[in-house]
Amino acid sequence: MSTPKVAVLGGGVMGATVAAAVVAAGWQASEVTVAEPRPERRAELAERHGLATVASAAEAVRGAGVVVVAVKPNQVATVLEEVSRELADDVVVVTVAAGLPAAFYEQRLPSGTPLVRVMPNTPAVIGKGASAIAPGTHASAEHLDLAERLLGATGLVVRVAEKDLDAVTAVSGSGPAYVFYVIDAMAEAGVLLGLTRELATQLAVATVEGAAALVAETGEHPVVLRERVSSPGGTTVAALAELDSRGVRAGILAAAERCRDRSVELGSEATGGA
């Protein structure tokens, strides 16, 4: 299976994560070049991952078969302007920048350039991420296959329509923050009830990790698993009733809807309301 040269534009956390994942997927480190303007960061990436690094995005994309855009959304237009004339005719562009629709890229890239949008999340840095990929106008199933290969080492990768990426943002893109919120609340509860903060945090983290693994490994619906630990008249039922009375479930649903709406707003703002 061919491994086209990969250029990653941006050496921040997500750019470095994607670059390392590409190497883990079978690419030679010499086939992956990261464009990063900060010299100290370039040195760190070269030392830690053995990657080729350059300061210029235009230099990085020369001869690349895949270009990964991993800069902040407000920097994307500038970067695309810099690299557009240097792109190979058969290049595939993959973007992990949040919020910008495919049309934003397609207006700035050479006509017909295949584009794949990715909505990753932060656990990708430890190989436990959840990423959704969506094709642009000119991307084929083969281009999606390539994107899946590139991202496979970051965790789960699923395919969705571009219209669903805002919903993905609300569930998995921002989802780790919801879980961190719950872990913090559980640990705080432990402190309130007399445990040390260190012990309460250990228990909260292990509980969330174990519960998620149980759902993943058994394939059973979370409601079924919840009912198995909810004895009639018992402690768990009492606790769940309190959560329901305080609207915790409704709050999570409302938070996800607001997150989705804000994702739509940001995309509209970035494209001038188009």
Residues 127 and 38 in one domain: yes
The secondary structure of 117-132, three-state, reads EEECCHHHHHCCEEEE
Rounded Cα distance, 14 and 121, in Å: 9
Summarize the confidence of residues 261-272 as an average pLDDT: 82
Split at pLDDT 50, 70, 90, the class of 15 is: very high
Residue closest to 80 by CA, chosen among 45, 106, 53:
106
Type of residue found at 234: G
Q: What is the pLDDT of residue 2?
A: 72
Residues 127 and 203 in one domain: no
Rounded Cα distance, 53 and 70, in Å: 14
Q: Is 80 exceeded by the pLDDT of residue 271?
A: no
- For the ranges 41-50, 155-164, 183-192, which has the lowest average pLDDT? 41-50
Split at pLDDT 50, 70, 90, the class of 268 is: confident
Residue 118 forms part of a structural domain: yes
Residues 56 and 14 in one domain: yes
Answer yes or no: are the C-beta atoms of 17 and 125 closer than 8 Å.
Answer: yes
Q: What is the pLDDT of residue 154?
A: 95
- Return the half-sphere exposure (C-beta side, CA atoms, 13 A cut-off) of residue 68: 33
Q: To which residue do tokens 């938070």 refer?
A: 255
What percent of the chain shows pLDDT beyond 90?
90
Residue 271 forms part of a structural domain: no
Q: What is the pLDDT of residue 1?
A: 57
pLDDT tens sequence across 208-224: 999 999 999 999 999 99
The number of domains in the chain is: 2
What is the overall mean pLDDT for the chain?
94
pLDDT tens sequence across 130-170: 999 999 999 999 999 999 999 999 999 999 999 999 999 99
Residue 28 forms part of a structural domain: yes
Q: What is the pLDDT of residue 156?
A: 97
Q: Is 80 exceeded by the pLDDT of residue 188?
A: yes
Q: Is 70 exceeded by the pLDDT of residue 258?
A: yes
Cα Rg, the chain, nearest whole Å = 21
Q: What is the pLDDT of residue 49?
A: 84
Residues of 179-201 as b/e, b for ≥16 C-beta within 10 angstroms?
A: eeeebeebbeebeeeebeeeebb
Residues 152 and 220 in one domain: no
Three-state SS at 232: coil
Q: What is the pLDDT of residue 189?
A: 98
Q: What is the pLDDT of residue 116?
A: 98
Residues 15 and 138 in one domain: yes
Residue 41 forms part of a structural domain: yes
Q: Is 80 exceeded by the pLDDT of residue 270?
A: no
Q: Are strands 129-135 and 92-95 parallel, antiparallel or unpaired?
A: unpaired
Residue closest to 119 by CA, chosen among 81, 155, 74:
155
Q: Is 80 exceeded by the pLDDT of residue 243?
A: yes
Residues 26 and 149 in one domain: yes
Domain that holds residue 39: 6-162
The CATH number of residue 244's host domain is: 1.10.3730.10
pLDDT tens sequence across 67-115: 999 999 889 999 999 999 999 999 999 999 988 999 999 999 999 999 9
